[in-house]
Structures are given as structure tokens and as C-alpha cells.
Copies of this chain bind each other. A is one copy, B any other.
Amino acid sequence: MAARLKSQEEYATLIDKYDTFLFDCDGVLWNGDAVVDGVIDVLRMLREKNKSVIFVTNNASKSRVDYKGKFDKMGVQATEEEIFGSAYASAVYISTVLRLPPTSKVYVIGMPGLEHELDTEGIAHIGGSDPADNTLEPFKLSTFVKDEKVSVVLCGLDLHINYTKYCKAFQYLRAGATFLATNVDSTYPVDGGLLPGSGALTYVLAKAMGVEPLSIGKPGKTMMDCIKAKHSFDPARTLMVGDRLDTDILFGKNGGVSTLLVMTGVTTEAVLESTTIVPDYVIDSLGDLRVLI
């Protein structure tokens, strides 16, 4: 049973127990373009108390540079080194674990932010934002010429998803390409509600192939490995804060840190009551901690 924190005393005890705070962003810091009330003050307070703050997002449509821009726009203080995204983690995985030879290519379903992170790691890629693949014209398999250098298919959130992208990715997977997903979030929060997420879009290929992709983002180990490579922290004094049980909270548990669920995102009270992924703590909103200021 998760501890539901409500009082100023409980909040103060929570903050005192931890030195490092890992934050999910969508649904925790903001929803779409609306900052969660009080969050900017709470983050400032944590920094004033010399806490480390790290932002861990499964949003693969943005590079770390793009994400820094989002923080700036929202008025939330962050440095590029504090930001970890599944696009970045995917690029790191391909370059350091798969050790893709320089002649190999990645077929991308995703946005320019994902392509940018691949560029940063020196990984060749096709698909993605290529105008030829951003079309609603019919796909003709009989005239499709595969790029024989493609050895990985990487799927992230792609707001320009279409049948040509699915068909090409499917042909590469059938030819033996490694199947990676930036993350498995089935939905993501925007102003006004939820939209289908990367994990849902990727499922077309999983279903057509009959195999699941390897997922890089939360709750996967690769994301935690990326953070550990850049920041040292004591897991016993680290708290993962998120709005989603099957990514954020599971990520914290898999990584051996404590977990705090906020109710400003996708998790409803009904889901919380029946979940088998139980966070250590629950608060209504990260912004509620501002009573400590």
C-alpha cells in the first residue's frame, strides 16, 4: 500500500529523506503547455536545499536540446546535463551496446528530435523526416527498393505516422533488422486530455511481426544506465517522481530507488487502487510541496 502524503510534516520528511530527485516531465511538471500549479516554486526550493534534480522523459520526439527549449518556454529551470530523454538513450544504446558499424543505418519512425540525437552519436539513418516517407500516397511494395545497409528499425512517437512508414519499417524487420522502440507509453498527456503514444503506434509493427520491440526508455534499464554514466547518486537517497505506474514507477523500482506517484497525469484513483506496481508514496500534485516554502 502506497503512503498517501497530505500534511506539511509528511512533505518535509519526504524531502529530508532524499538528495536526488528524478522527475518525469509530462503529467508531473506540466500537461501539454500548462505548467502544473506550484511546480516552478517547488523545483526552486529543492535547488535551494542543494538537492540534485534530474529530468527523465520518455518523450522521444525531442532531443535534449529541444527539451531544454521546452523547459525555457515553460519557465522551468534546467540545464542540458540534467535532461535525459528516450531519444538520447536510444542513440546511446545503438552506438554503445549494438555498436552499429559506420556503414550501417537505422530506419527511423520518429521526429527530428530523435534524428538529431542519432546525428549526435554519429549514427546514419533514413526515414523519419524524409519528405519521401511523409506522404499519404499509396505504398507499392513491388517497386520498393530496400536499403541493404539498414540493420535497425527504431520507433518513437511520430505525429506524421503513415502507411508508407509502417510498410518500409515492416520490410526491414522482416529482413532481420533489430527492432527497437524509444519507449512503450501507450498514451501521452496534452492540453485537454490524452493522445495515443509511441508505445501504441509501435504496436502496429509488433502485431504485424508477432514480436515485441526492445524498449529503451523508462521502465527499461538503458535509460538508468545513461543517467548513471553522467551523474553519481546514492539509490537509497534517490526518489523517482512520475505520473505513470508502468513506466515511471516501475523504472524507479527497477533502478532500486524510491518512488513517488503524482495524480496530475494519466493515473486515476481507480487504477491506483488495483495496480500491482505500488509506489512508495503518492501525492496529489508535485506543486503541493510548495507549502514547505
Contact = CB atoms under 8 A, between A and B. Distances in A.
Nearest to A160: B136
Interface of A: 32, 134-136, 138-139, 141-142, 144, 158-163, 166-167, 170-171, 174, 186-187, 190-197, 199-201, 203-208, 210
Nearest to A271: B210
Given A159-B163, A200-B205, 18 more contacts: A136-B136, A136-B160, A136-B162, A139-B195, A142-B191, A144-B192, A161-B161, A166-B201, A170-B195, A174-B193, A186-B208, A200-B203, A200-B204, A200-B207, A200-B208, A203-B203, A203-B207, A204-B204
Contacts of A136: 134-136, 160, 162
Contacts of A194: 170, 174, 208
A275 to B, nearest CB: 13
A208 B187 contact: yes
A171 B139 CA distance: 28
Nearest to A169: B196
B193 A208 contact: no
A208 B196 contact: yes
Contact of A207 (B144, B161, B186, B193): B186
